[in-house]
Amino acid sequence: MHVITPQVAVDPANAYLQHRRPFEIGYWLVSCCLGAIGGSYEEWADHQRLGVPLDWWQPATWSWSSALASLVLVPAVLWFTRRWPLHMDTWRRRLPGYLGASVAWSLTHVALMVGIRKLVYAARGASYDFGDWPSELLYEYSKDVRTFIGMVLLLHGYRLLLRRLQGEASVLGTPDDVAQPGSVARPERFLVRKLGREFLIAADDVEWLQASGNYVNLRVRGHDYPLRSTIGGIEAQLDPARFVRIHRSYIVNIDRIASIEPLDSGDARAHLQDATLLPISRRYRDAVWQGASEGRGIGSA
């Protein structure tokens, strides 16, 4: 007897989203290595054409020091662009901040780069001279600002693609004939648009919410759906009998909490039914304990 195993269709988008961290880290590492190798060869080849003698380790040091300094600064750019994202309605207001960030990025990049070069040169029994600092800084900034802009555009474009893959959520409003005058509209469902398709998510199925820049990620059955809102804005719309603020960046569906673990610091930790751990700051502890005392099935660890 032949047993037929049912074939489960694999969604490439979900498969990538589940394993995207190694790809993202790999991209920056590969970019760093390729840029350093290419830059080293170009410097060496230019000097060879000019007939200027140059030891192999010098162009390697110049290129690798710049690439490594840029790699070290990637987390800072990730944080900055996530904290102050650019949108059609915000880019003009945030442009001066990005200009200042490009200057700070360039100065830090140059400081790290020169420090690495001095260490390598000292190890080789030589000394490294950066030259006239004002003119050299201006020259380096003319290159660094292009690199910074490229990183910003890449990150925003990539995050836009991720939102398309994840499915961008929006609040499904209450029909006018159902809404009560003077009442707060409590969304019962969220509309998710994902790769040209639309589907609904029940508000009760949302396990927790996390602030992420100008978005709030809705956690539903292992998937994150970004909603264009602030954490305070969506908190005001959610049913307070079901959703409770536990941290400045987190709201949790109180029915999903399995237990609460008090911490010596005065904060606490929420253990969810799927083993997820979320922080509870002391500012919001009373609200969580109140939910527990009202008999919603929360235990205490």
Distance (Å, whole) CA 157 – CA 165: 13
Regarding whether 104 and 32 lie in a shared domain, the answer is yes
| pTM exceeding 0.85 | no
Number of separate domains in the chain: 2
Domain CATH code at residue 273? 2.40.50.1020
Q: Is residue 2 part of a domain?
A: no
Q: Is residue 8 part of a domain?
A: no
Q: For Cα atoms 250, 218, 243, give the angle at the middle one, nearest 5 degrees.
A: 55
Regarding whether 149 and 260 lie in a shared domain, the answer is no
Which residues on neighbouring strands pair with residue 227, listed in sequence order?
A: 169, 216
Q: Is residue 1 part of a domain?
A: no
Q: Is residue 116 part of a domain?
A: yes
Q: Is residue 121 part of a domain?
A: yes
> Three-state SS for 261?
strand
Q: Is residue 5 part of a domain?
A: no
Q: One digit per residue, pLDDT tens: the chain, 301 residues?
A: 444 444 434 456 667 777 788 999 999 999 999 999 999 999 888 888 888 888 889 999 999 999 999 999 999 999 999 888 888 778 889 999 999 999 999 999 999 999 999 999 999 999 999 988 899 999 999 999 999 999 999 999 998 888 888 787 888 765 444 444 444 567 788 888 877 678 888 888 999 999 987 889 899 888 888 888 889 888 888 888 889 999 999 999 999 989 888 888 888 888 998 888 999 998 888 777 776 556 455 544 4
Regarding whether 283 and 142 lie in a shared domain, the answer is no
Regarding whether 94 and 19 lie in a shared domain, the answer is yes
**266 touches 229 (CB < 8 A):** no
Distance (Å, whole) CA 211 – CA 205: 18
Distance separating the N- and C-terminal Cα atoms of the chain: 51
Q: Is residue 4 part of a domain?
A: no
Instruction: Give the range of the structural domain holding residue 82, as residue numbers without chain letter.
Output: 13-166
Q: Is residue 89 part of a domain?
A: yes
- DSSP code, position 79: H
Regarding whether 141 and 201 lie in a shared domain, the answer is no
Regarding whether 172 and 161 lie in a shared domain, the answer is no
**54 touches 47 (CB < 8 A):** yes
